[in-house]
Amino acid sequence: MLKRFAILTITIILASGMSALATGGGTKNKVDPQPASHDDQDGQKTPSVIVQVGTQQADTTETKEKNDADRELAEYTCWLAVFTGLLTVVSAVQGYFLCRQAHHLKKHGLELQVLARAARANADAAKDAAETARKQTDHIAAAERAWLTVAMGDAEVPSKDISGDLIVWFTPNITNCGRTVAHITKIYLRVRFCDSVSWFTHPPSYEDETDQPNDGSHRFYGGRMFDENVLIVPNGTAAPVRVNLTGPELRQLTDGGNTRLYLYGYVEYRTVGTPNARTGFCLSYHMPGTINDPLEGLARGWVIYGPGGYNYAK
């Protein structure tokens, strides 16, 4: 920049000198100042001095403007540096607070994890406690409720001198082995002959068994339905329903084959804590010496024996 100003000043001075020479005459020597001093006071020397003074003033003005511009630039740069410094300080403070916040958030997250684990542990403990309480309640209810069993006791089935007009009744005993009253609402009972337990349907179909007539006469085809109300006190026994077989039917037990006699069904009742209690039973009359005897070694009489799903209590 200074070089440009110096070149511009030299150029202006040379131009002023050439102009003075041109005004004073072409034969005048630029170096000789004496002839010019005897000329008129308004001679050609004055413009040279005036040009030179104007040039110095312009140079001074331009230098001043340059200094003013440099000072403004310096001030702008200074304020820019101050503003940048302030931004740096603000950013540093903000970064500090962000770091502190991140630290607190991390600490809070760890505390939340601890609380979550404690909550899960408490929930598991509460669940275990609830399950324990439920089991205890079920155990108490099971201990206090009525439980019904079905048996034929020592009842015997005739096997000799079976006449054609003989009728044998089968009356199972229903006993309450629980601690509260049992309110019987329904009983299904059936007696039938089968060569194998495979003849039974699984699961039990009871009233809908396919080997019974579909004309409604199954109540007299070895089966009975009982839907009256009967109360059995604890340790009490009742025999509200029975079925029968005729002499010709009973002769199947003594014909030397593999036929077995079964008595089965269910009892529905209400009791404390269990409005829909049910007992299923299946009894078989065992006669030693039969072919392929699955109960070999047992004495003659009624035993609990049947296909899966027929003996249960719930």
The pLDDT, as a whole number, for residue 38 is 44
The pLDDT, as a whole number, for residue 43 is 47
Min mean pLDDT across 65-79, 166-180, 183-197 is at: 65-79
Residue 173: which residues within 8 A CB-CB, separation 6 or more?
A: 150, 151, 152, 153, 237, 238, 239
Total Cβ atoms within 10 A of residue 286: 20
Highest mean pLDDT out of 102-106, 203-207, 245-249, 264-268: 264-268
What are the sequence ranges of the domains in the chain? 1-144, 148-313
The pLDDT, as a whole number, for residue 236 is 96
pTM of the entire predicted model: 0.57
Q: Round to whole Å and give the CA distance between 150 and 182.
A: 14
Question: Mean of the per-residue pLDDT values for the chain?
Answer: 78
Residue 24 and residue 43 in contact, taking contact as beta carbons nearer than 8 Å: yes
